Amino acid sequence: MADLTTDFVGIKSPNPFWLASAPPTDKEYNVRRAFEAGWGGVVWKTLGEAGPPIVNVNGPRYGVVYGADRRVLGINNIELITDRPLETNLEEIARVKKDFPDRAVVVSLMVPCEEQSWKAILPRVEDTGCDGIELNFGCPHGMSERGMGSAVGQVPEYIQMVTEWCKEYSDLPVIVKLTPNITDIRYPARAANAGGADAVSLINTVSSITSVNLDTMSPEPSIDGKGSHGGYCGQAVKPIALNMVAEIARDPETAQLPISGIGGVTTWRDAAEFLALGAGNVQVCTSAMVYGYGIIKELTAGLSDWMDEKGHASVADFSRMAVPNVTDWQYLNLNYITKARIDPESCIKCGRCFAACEDTSHQAIKMTPDRTFEVIDEECVACNLCIDVCPVEGCITMEELKPGDLDKRTGRVVEEEYANWTTHPNNPAAQAAE
């Protein structure tokens, strides 16, 4: 059996699956149920003090994007940080940590961007016995309008400043939660690193409006006929999150900075992808809200089985393994050539590949009167749209041309030596360097 235990910046947990700071970690009752179900850790829903009182809406808080089968693809929320008393939360955190000493309990924090506010709250949090703190620099709604959340996370100088305060006034590991609502995620990550952060976590939610009620002409969720932008999360944001995690993991200035991956983790495979791209653990929210805490059994069993199959004894064995294979576009090998191949035995003759290629791509698939489909090599650019739209897995594949083969589209023979594309004379980057 694979060993799923993790040690993330000195915080140990029995598996890499933590619940993210959100409604699932709002109170003792929820967190106890989560730990009893088998979750490795939690980041307690964001605490705060000072500034205007936190008052959440009493109407709908969530807007949803559905798939064709009404499966939840993404949730937009307009909920603020906890509106429960700070002291109540602190007492509950202390009790939970005492009863579950082997689980990770990290506390999310957000207070005004003033040194005294952070200096005052940190000792009280540390007294709970929690394992670390996460600085919420990502919330894009409600709190950002008060000069907190993403309003801080979008200014690298503020990130570094607050991180330095937290490192000065607390001995706990400091995890900085980053906002995706920024042009280049590397700059806030570098600022967190410069401030002495022990790790970063990302992504927080994406600022969004998910839909508009065309009867009331109000964005959803609608509160008395009005709506507001909120924070978008779930499967739909996973590609954004993976890219940003990889950007930090391969940036020379932050390459060694531990990362907690967040954003659309729904299956064990999602988690493995985050870990391979640089994360040391993952945080989950939306899938727990949709399916309940019991999904942890599928997550841990699936990851463990895959690790056994691949020969990975621990999570650390494959963490960051994919990072060296992430590169900039100009370094992709333009001499690597493939062509689509359609298996007539698997084909159900739906014609989706033909329609997609004929109407929107390169007219590289021909259809006979009896609805058989064949690839026209002279036109195929290997875009793989046909594979993407085909409803039969494995029916269409890409076949690599070998050295010496003729590419009928370009009339060029595939070169014998094309492995080192970075110095190849056809590489625009190499030409620019010369």
Contacts of 186 (CB under 8 A, 6+ apart): 247, 248, 251, 253, 254
Encode pLDDT of 246-256 as tens digits: 999 999 999 99
Which pLDDT does position 403 carry in this prediction? 87
pLDDT (mean) for 167-185: 95
Encode pLDDT of 272-282 as tens digits: 999 999 999 99
Q: Which of 29-33, 74-78, 96-100, 118-122 has the lowest mean pLDDT?
A: 74-78
DSSP letter, residue 5: -
Which pLDDT does position 372 carry in this prediction? 95
- Domain ranges across the chain: 6-325, 329-433
pLDDT at 44 over 80: yes
First to last CA, the chain: 52
Question: pTM (2 decimals)?
Answer: 0.90
Separation CA 407–CA 92 (nearest Å) = 67
Contacts of 315 (CB under 8 A, 6+ apart): 3, 4, 5, 6, 16, 275, 280, 281, 307
Which pLDDT does position 290 carry in this prediction? 92
Q: Which of 2-11, 122-131, 136-145, 191-200 has the lowest mean pLDDT?
A: 136-145
Using alpha carbons only, give the angle 71, 77, 79 rounded to the nearest 5 degrees.
145
Separation CA 359–CA 110 (nearest Å) = 51
CATH number of the domain at 329-433, please?
3.30.70.20
pLDDT (mean) for 334-340: 90
Average pLDDT, the chain: 90
Encode pLDDT of 363-422 as tens digits: 999 999 999 999 999 999 999 999 999 999 999 999 999 888 999 998 888 876 555 556
Active site residues: 139
Which pLDDT does position 400 carry in this prediction? 94
Contacts of 393 (CB under 8 A, 6+ apart): none
Q: Domain 6-325, CATH 3.40.50.2000 — does that match?
A: no
Element (H, E) at 259: strand 259-262
Residue 189 Cα distances to 109, 204, 273, angstroms: 18, 13, 20
Which pLDDT does position 207 carry in this prediction? 84
Which pLDDT does position 112 carry in this prediction? 85
For residue 215, give the nearest of 206, 230, 225 by alpha carbon. 225
Encode pLDDT of 304-316 as tens digits: 999 999 999 999 9
Which pLDDT does position 79 carry in this prediction? 74
Encode pLDDT of 111-135 as tens digits: 888 899 999 999 999 999 999 999 9
Which pLDDT does position 333 carry in this prediction? 85
Q: Which of 33-42, 139-148, 385-394 has the lowest mean pLDDT?
A: 139-148
Which pLDDT does position 234 carry in this prediction? 86
106 beta partners: 43, 132
